[in-house]
Structure 1
Amino acid sequence: MKWLARILVSGAALTIAGTALANDDTLTKTKDPKNWAIQLGNYEGQRYSPLDQITVENVKSLRPAWSFSTGVLRGHEGGPIVIGDTMYIHTPVPNIVYALDLANEGRVKWKYEPRQDLNVIPVMCCDTVNRGVAVADGKVFLAQADNTLVALNADSGQELWKVKNGDHTRGETLTAAPLVVKDKVLVGISGGEFGVRGHLTAYNTESGEMVWRAYSTGPDADVLLDPQTTTMMGKPIGEADLGVKTWPGEEWKIGGGTTWGWYTYDPELDLVYYGTGNPGTWNPVQRAVDNDRAKSDNKWSMTIFARNPDTGQAKWVYQKTPFDEWDFDGVNENILADLTIDGQERKVLVNFDRNGFAYTLDRETGELLVAKKFDPVVNWATDIDMETGRPNVVDQYSTFAQGEDTNTKGVCPAALGTKDQQPAAFNPQTGLFYVPTNHLCMDYEPFQVAYTAGQPYVGATVAMYPAPNSHGGMGNFIAFDAAKGEIVWSKPERFAVWSGALTTAGGVGFYGTLEGYLKAFDLKDGTELYKFKTPSGIIGNINTYEHNGKQYIAVLSGVGGWAGIGLAAGLTDESAAAGWHEAVHPERGQGPETAADVTVDTAGLGAVGAHRQLSDYTQLGGVLTVFELPSN
């Protein structure tokens, strides 16, 4: 209890100190547990609610209260925002935003449907998803697929301003949820599979004017990095322009490092945290300097950045997977918490990376404190060197060491990662993190690929399958002790777990499954307490709020995303697989490949084969479902 009290006191101090720094409206609304005012629940990204009406004892009585069809198929990631009497929900392309009246059975207050060039759809790598809107200062901020950032009046849905953040004809798209910090709205970019150059950009919330843009690759001036003051592993970087030197030639200009994940913020330290994605192309041989892995970190892809939100200047960086050889995208959320590690209270950042390692860092200095596997089958590296922060790569599973046109078999995890963007949750009462995970391995064959703007720049054929000699399923939901780097308990699932988690003060947590189940569990031991099958598979994030004195649980279901791309895009037979295969590497042949040349195992960048049985359990459909306890 003393440990818990320290967490609560330090959290309160962080909020008070940050009031003058953070967006006042966002802070005020996230402090009220009746709201779910930000996609990750709070600036720290904890996805924790102090609401406690729903408990271990009564959750079994949960029932659907009402539902709402979004009118859109494809994958529904992200989740509802609730502020007072209004719920804001979003859809995949065409990126509709609805404002629903909670005081009137979800009546539509207003609907905004943007007009955008639907030619953006073919350049969206892994479904036409969108991870949600941000609401602050009387505005709703929507990042549209076609790279338009738009500000809407939160009461009427009227357009206030809009600005272009990229060019879809070059493969750039927008899928991430914006984050409002102070008077700025932060937005990233997608398109790592199209050879785009990643960046994070800050726009003024009132005018839409660009304030700063920080690139993920290139000269220090573009990355907004000072090698003498920006630190890595607690020491100044020292050498200039590593974002150029660690790439061959001008490959950094098409180097990926996209920023389509989640952003968190510490108001006390006044730092924004986010991760950058995979380097383009997936073929590591084409990204090697002098054919030497040691020279080829491909900075600053696969990197956690801590930046000043006013200037964009990087305070510290940490590259998790230098010279990524497996598409272990580094964009997953960075959860901020205060933990006791080796007897010392630390302000930490916890990241569950696609590469299968969980990282605990000091969020003020970037010092690496703990780095451990959060799935035992991970084999591409033995461990993380705690002095250098670098992984110790196993050559047997190195796609670079094995070489081009060689199928490296049995790599764990698969490119879907041990965890993708589906956000984990922290619970201050237990001190544990609750993590949706994938339990997949892959075969990976890199090949030469030519860059053409707006065309896929992949350069690898991938087949994914359940981890062998295991429970036979493709997912686990786990509780993890980030102070020790240990799995506390693990629940196997039939398919990859692709929803965001939620924990509450009632001792109950929630997550969703690809089959469509909303599941409630006991935070202590993972015991399943309740489940309900929604109309479609869940890849959205479970949220909770209170209205008229009652706690509700809300989730968007609608199967899709990378894990569900087979259903979402119709890649369920060999002809569809062949069409996708031709699209991702048209340079390979003397004309189109046929269905006989390609199996469904490699369709959808490998995800379709892994989830080929998903259609036996669910189908497409975008539906919001709201749950309640029965009235006394």
Structure 2
Amino acid sequence: MKAFTRCLLASAALLIAMPAHANDGVMKLVKDPNNWAMQLGNYAGHRYSPLDQINKQNVQDMRVAWTFSTGVLRGHEGGPLVIGDTMYLHTPFPNAVYALDLKEDGRIKWKYEPTQDSNVIPVMCCDTVNRGVAFADGKIFLAQADNTLVALDAESGKVVWSAKNGDHTRGETLTAAPVVIKDKVLVGISGGEFGVRGHLTAYDVKSGKQVWRAYSTGPDKDVKIDPKKTLMMGKPIGEADLGVSTWNGDEWKIGGGTTWGWYTYDPETNLVYYGTGNPGTWNPAQRAKDGKPVDNKWSMTIFARDADTGEAKWVFQKTPFDEWDYDGVNENILADIEIGGKKRQVLVNLDRNGFGYTLDRKTGELLVAEKFDPTVNWATHVDMKTGRPQVVKEYSTFANGPDVNTKGVCPAALGSKDQQPASFSPDTGLFYVPTNHICMDYEPFEVSYQAGQPYVGATLSMYPAPNSHGGMGNFIAWDAATGKVKWSIPERFAVWSGALTTKGGVGFYGTLEGHLVAFDMENGKELWRFKTPSGIIGNVNTYMHDGKQYVAVLSGIGGWAGIGLAAGLTNPQEGLGAVGAHSSLGEYTQLGGVLTVFEVPSRSRQASAK
């Protein structure tokens, strides 16, 4: 009996230790600059590498080391992970995962390709994208389009467990990259254009059992809000069940607020940060209450939640009663910067609505809110006491009414920046941001809800912002302490790739035509440019293998910006209006999923080191 008791105690001790080990394992991998162990580079979302073998002196000599075709022709978002000698690469639907041997220029060690119901494709709003896999505890975690979260053995590719996260017949899909925090893997849900009620869900890393789920709309118990404790603008919310009372009738049940963006985490506070998307429908009149605008909480909101329980610590709603589809899911980058002579632990969000927000990441206090694109006209400014944007009536699709075409709204629903993640460099203290420069006409109309059918209720036309450089994109350096653009690089099309910065003083981003661009992080000067086989909507990564630094990027035009090419659409108003904005994109690139890996030859590296 004593031996049996000792065995139980030993087993219990092991189980208690596992969560810390899982978290410690990810942290250890992230701290090793040879790896690229998370989609955002680290838990803080920096997309920064301390590698400096590739630098301003030798980057002009960068050349292709090897390539790999994914065999899929839709939009390739996200990027590869590198753990030791293995690269893990994903594709859009059908969501294949490859393990590639870096010792043999990408020899396939194993391939996983799930069998999925193709009926999921029509309910994927803006192309069949997937934003990447996660690694932890010897497993690769993949969020499949058909709402299956699957854990694969990292060595063999065999399924360890799978969990069902949603139902595509109700318009629910999965496109986001999961994130592993302690002993849990977190994943959201897509489908805001189908009346899906958003949520973030935590599953046990070891078994796949659901641990908690926090909804974006509804009563406080569902949203995991305590109005006496959860903070908003630094004070307790106070009023109960705002996730119900700020909606017209039962609209909150089909209220959107989906969670298909990125998730960051602060180990010091044990808080996970993410944003919720647009409220359904796009016709704001149907979400008004008694004919008046209401906030439609908690769509368009940054949540800070306890990673263990899902309980909300604080909330900040960026675009209450959204009238323009300014989906609020963009990444929340955590950094320590000086503001007004004081070092602050902050969260920085460059939102679709065109405002760059800097908040205290412990309390949600608003510190800075400024436009990062000067053409933004739907609001004049953000009230720093309330956090509310001050809407210009001329561009209010609600004030103008249903079946009225509100013209010249900037930015377009594509946003001044979509989900393509920015980068933060601790060396410069700046944020490097891919942005869009597009405006729109927006006409809302009455729409009925039917499960699994589009619940949009608006017709959009998009076009380049007037009085600009003639292009639809800018890549900018952003000072989050002052809310000012330090410099800007114009691009012909919206910049839809994730950025990378490095200790070598060189940053990288991709263009929709397919160029990988290297720039000087101090002044934005272009240092090198290479045209890959297809447009880039993936995120640039870097890693070290066998003593040599490499830069890798997924090409494969598609996503919302490239949906015309990806899905063969030609009507300017198709693709929720995006087709017209990028109608000439086909003159510069075509479909094709390709990974391109770059290196600097040894002689160039040796010369630059002298």
C-alpha offsets along residues 191-217 of structure 1, whole Å, 9 cap, x if unaligned?
000000000000000000000000000
Report the alpha carbon displacement of residue 179 of structure 1 after superposing the two structures with TM.
0.2
User: Contact conserved, 1:424 with 1:436, CA < 8 A, in 2?
Assistant: yes
Match of 1:380 in 2: 378
Report the alpha carbon displacement of residue 291 of structure 1 after superposing the two structures with TM.
1.2
Match of 1:361 in 2: 359
Q: Structure 2: which amino acid aligns with 1:202?
A: A
Q: Structure 1: which amino acid aligns with 2:90?
A: H
Select which of 303, 315, 339 maps to 1:317.
315
User: Contact conserved, 1:435 with 1:501, CA < 8 A, in 2?
Assistant: yes
Match of 2:440 in 1: 442
Match of 2:601 in 1: 630
**Counterpart secondary structure, 1:602:** coil
**Counterpart secondary structure, 1:347:** strand
**Counterpart secondary structure, 1:553:** strand
User: Contact conserved, 1:21 with 1:270, CA < 8 A, in 2?
Assistant: no
Within 5 Å, give how 1:181-580 maps onto structure 2: 181-293=181-293, 296-572=294-570
Task: Give the Cα separation in 2 of the matches to 1:567 and 1:248.
Answer: 38
C-alpha offsets along residues 552-602 of structure 1, whole Å, 9 cap, x if unaligned?
000000000000000000002xxxxxxxxxxxxxxxxxxxxxxxxxxx221
Report the alpha carbon displacement of residue 530 of structure 1 after superposing the two structures with TM.
0.3
Structure 2's unaligned 5+ residue stretches are 1-18, 604-610
User: Contact conserved, 2:335 with 2:346, CA < 8 A, in 1?
Assistant: yes
Report the alpha carbon displacement of residue 375 of structure 1 after superposing the two structures with TM.
0.2
Report the alpha carbon displacement of residue 20 of structure 1 after superposing the two structures with TM.
5.2
User: Contact conserved, 2:22 with 2:137, CA < 8 A, in 1?
Assistant: no
Question: If the length of structure 2 is used for normalisation, what is the TM-score?
Answer: 0.95
**Counterpart secondary structure, 1:291:** coil
C-alpha offsets along residues 112-160 of structure 1, whole Å, 9 cap, x if unaligned?
0001111000000000000000011100000000000000000000100
Match of 2:161 in 1: 161
User: Contact conserved, 1:218 with 1:241, CA < 8 A, in 2?
Assistant: yes
1:609 aligns with 2:580: yes
Task: Give the Cα separation in 1 of the matches to 2:534 and 2:101.
Answer: 24
Report the alpha carbon displacement of residue 21 of structure 1 after superposing the two structures with TM.
9.0
Report the alpha carbon displacement of residue 446 of structure 1 after superposing the two structures with TM.
0.2
Task: Give the Cα separation in 2 of the matches to 1:401 and 1:378.
Answer: 18
Structure 1's unaligned 5+ residue stretches are 1-18, 573-599
**Counterpart secondary structure, 1:601:** coil
1:58 aligns with 2:29: no
Report the alpha carbon displacement of residue 549 of structure 1 after superposing the two structures with TM.
0.5
Task: Give the Cα separation in 2 of the matches to 1:20 and 1:50.
Answer: 25
Q: Structure 1: which amino acid aligns with 2:71?
A: G
Q: 1:607 to 1:163 in 2, by over 3 A?
A: same
Q: Structure 2: which amino acid aligns with 1:74?
A: R
Q: Structure 2: which amino acid aligns with 1:242?
A: L
Report the alpha carbon displacement of residue 57 of structure 1 after superposing the two structures with TM.
1.0
Report the alpha carbon displacement of residue 372 of structure 1 after superposing the two structures with TM.
0.2
The percentage of counterpart residues that share the same residue type is 78
Task: Give the Cα separation in 1 of the matches to 2:154 and 2:572.
Answer: 44
Task: Give the Cα separation in 2 of the matches to 1:345 and 1:389.
Answer: 22
User: Contact conserved, 2:350 with 2:357, CA < 8 A, in 1?
Assistant: yes
Q: Structure 2: which amino acid aligns with 1:238?
A: G
Question: For this pair of structures, how many residues does the alignment match?
Answer: 585
User: Contact conserved, 1:90 with 1:132, CA < 8 A, in 2?
Assistant: yes
Q: Structure 2: which amino acid aligns with 1:229?
A: K
User: Contact conserved, 1:22 with 1:267, CA < 8 A, in 2?
Assistant: no
Q: Structure 2: which amino acid aligns with 1:89?
A: L
**Counterpart secondary structure, 1:490:** strand
Report the alpha carbon displacement of residue 39 of structure 1 after superposing the two structures with TM.
0.2
Report the alpha carbon displacement of residue 22 of structure 1 after superposing the two structures with TM.
7.5
Task: Give the Cα separation in 1 of the matches to 2:21 and 2:272.
Answer: 12
